[in-house]
Structure 1
């Protein structure tokens, strides 16, 4: 839907009903991830997916987001899907002219005002240069680090960077005869779903990280760029990970291990095997992500056992209507304190602080 037209460019707002348009803007971008796709946004259950697009001639910037109503008000806010998103373009952000980025900013601010949006939150992609664009709005936030394995180096060099304990655990799994296979059946997917549910229960994960069988079935069925890889021992699924491909980047999306096999570290074996699969597909980087909550915790240290390739991870936190935002925060009973990392603050449960 055309939402704004000027003598310079045009702004559009697309929904899931415009599948072909959504896919066109994603697939023609110089840099994008599976997290930007129509298929992935279709699975979102925490808001209505919208794709804002600003065009000038043959050039465009597109920004996928999720719209949520703010209960008891005529207002909305925007946030992003679970994963690494941010804006995309048919040109590299490092090459965009200043006037083009400024025109995008003006069009997006008009979109926010006319849509009664109070705030916007988006995770940005560590590999893409879109911070150069978002810094023009303000609200760019350093959010920690992520880790990736560089598959453009030789396999020997890659494995030389593994921590000694990581190498030892991988070799032990090979001695045990563990095998890796791609999930091919509904039963394979359901086995992973049960494994994931067991893992989330063990760590007492929040509702945000809970996905059911239907989610996994829809994500993995008839999707060539999203695969489930399983570790098998004596015919039993003991570990699994979903991986996603786009533009020479492979994302390690979710990973789970049977509790009784944790001491044998099949997940380390699986990551090493997946890196070989990535190489066979011409992938340049296997992105492992960051620590829990993007803190440098035990999960982050575990991933450091594979690579010293560390990327800066940022989020964009923008207040579009300061007056309404402040009122909503006051009504919520919350207040900003340095120790609490949450945005928008009015959506935080008071118990979090």
Structure 2
């Protein structure tokens, strides 16, 4: 590994999370969140200067059958955080230091899922070779009273919340013994939406996610003693995130999800969160049904999810792509980046990451 001077690479979870705490970074930056991923080594590039500090955690992944690596942020949101006042020249200088490290480690591509609430894509545009606003997301501000937050719901959504209450739906925090029920409902939901296999998280993923190393909880909607819907909520220092949701398709008529979202926001506000991020839809389409559903909880709270990509070794990248496309020619029509990691078994019509 290349020897770094002013900057350093951090792998130790204690040192990592001390920085996350010191700079009040979000839960998506915690070491335990990176450790959920089955492929790749969590690594943080830390660059302190007299004018500011760069904190950039990512997964360093080996590329099978080669001596190369690539780096990516995990499912969720992240990317480099520039603390302090940074000029473009200063960003270029630290970027060059980072590229020197990547060259020494044979890291050939970089993929970043920027954080919609931290808005780090603004400076990230000068870090990556290319950035793209991928899709809209929804963020509900929690600084007003809970009654005011409810008042921001659409009329139909408020009506559905009242309907769920009339039908006898109740919301509570699930016990660990009930996590299996949530997983079952989650996979039913993925089946219903014909989701790509990457969204069928493994049992180990759920086990680690809910092990207590992250501030996460499962909320469930219950009717007549049966769990009919649920969601996993992540909590950071300031923000709460709707992470995964599930529901029994046969019970949607009693509107459990609307009541579940209302309670999710109430609990997040009670915990001192200033905003609740609901994520986006399943496509870039402004009329996406999931996006419209989430917007019914706060019409004006629009945020955006952007990605950043960089090819760090053009020759190696093209070589890997040629080999890959020769073996899987169907991937020619996909927009996945990097090309050589196109998920062949589930090429989507969109061919792109979604939140």
The TM-score, its normalising length taken from structure 2, stands at 0.88
Pairing of 1:162-201 with structure 2 (within 5 A): 162-184=153-175, 186-201=176-191
Residue matched to 1:69: 62
Q: Secondary structure at the match of 1:3?
A: coil
* 1-structure distance, mates of 2:285, 2:341: 21
In structure 2, the CA distance between the partners of 1:349 and 1:197, relative to structure 1 (3 Å rule), is closer
CA offset at residue 319 of structure 1? Answer: 0.7
Cα displacement (A) at 1:46: 2.9
Structure 2 gaps of 5+ residues are none
Please say if 1:343 is aligned against 2:337. yes
From 38, 43, 47, the equivalent of 2:31 is 38
Cα 1:349–1:183 shift into 2, 3 Å: closer
Give the Cα separation in 2 of the matches to 1:71 and 1:170: 49
Change (3 A) 1:291 1:342: same
Contact residue 9 and residue 45 of structure 2 kept, 8 A: yes
User: Which of 246, 253, 261 is matched with 2:236 structurally?
Assistant: 246
State which drifts further: 116-125 or 262-271: 262-271
2:17 aligned residue (16, 23, 31): 23
Any idea what the Cα deviations from partners look like across 1:285-340, whole Å, max 9, x if unmatched? 11000011454311111111111210122111111111221222222226998x84
Q: Please say if 1:142 is aligned against 2:133.
A: yes
What is the Cα deviation at residue 209 of structure 1?
A: 0.7
Q: Distance in 1 between matches of 2:343 and 2:167?
A: 46
**C-alpha distance in structure 2 between counterparts of 1:106 and 1:335, whole Å:** 36
Q: How does 1:211-250 map to 2 (within 5 A)?
A: 211-223=201-213, 225-250=215-240
Query: C-alpha separation between the residues in 2 aligned to 1:228 and 1:73?
Result: 40
Work out whether residues 2 and 12 of structure 1, in 8 Å CA contact, stay in contact via their aligned partners in 2. no
Query: How has the CA–CA distance of structure 1 residues 349 and 228 changed in structure 2, closer, same or farther, with 3 Å as cutoff?
Result: closer
> CA 1:23–1:58 in structure 2 vs 1: closer, same or farther (change >3 Å)?
farther
Q: What's the CA shift for 1:50? A: 1.6
Cα 1:71–1:2, aligned 2, differ >3 Å: closer, same or farther? closer
Match in the other structure for 2:294: 303
How large is the RMSD of aligned CA atoms in angstroms? 2.3
- Alpha-carbon deviations, 1:239-274, whole Å to 9, x = none? 111111112110000010012112222111100111
Structure 1 unaligned runs (5+)?
Answer: none
Establish whether residue 205 from structure 1 lines up as the match of residue 195 from structure 2: yes
> Does residue 1:86 correspond to 2:79, yes or no?
yes
- State the Cα distance separating 1:221 from its structure 2 match: 2.5
Distance between the aligned counterparts of 2:284 and 2:167, measured in 1? 33
Structure 1 counterpart SS, 2:76: coil
Counterpart-to-counterpart distance in 2, 1:188 and 1:249? 25
Q: Is the 8 A contact 1:50 1:66 kept in 2?
A: yes
Q: CA deviation at 1:67?
A: 1.9
Give the total of aligned pairs.
341
The separation in 2 between residues aligned to 1:341 and 1:228, in whole angstroms, is 34
SS of residue paired to 2:233: strand
SS in 1 for 2:153: coil
Q: Secondary structure at the match of 1:44?
A: coil
Alignment partner, residue 266 of structure 1: 256
Give me the whole-angstrom Cα distance separating, in 1, the residues matched to 2:70 and 2:34. Answer: 17
Asked if 1:56 corresponds to 2:49, the answer is yes
SS of 1:4's partner is: coil
1:107 paired with 2:97, answer yes
CA distance in 1, matches of 2:125, 2:147: 39
TM-score calculated relative to the size of structure 1: 0.89
The counterpart of 2:10, out of the listed 3, 9, 14, is: 14
SS at match of 1:329: helix
In structure 2, distance between residues paired with 1:129 and 1:23 = 21
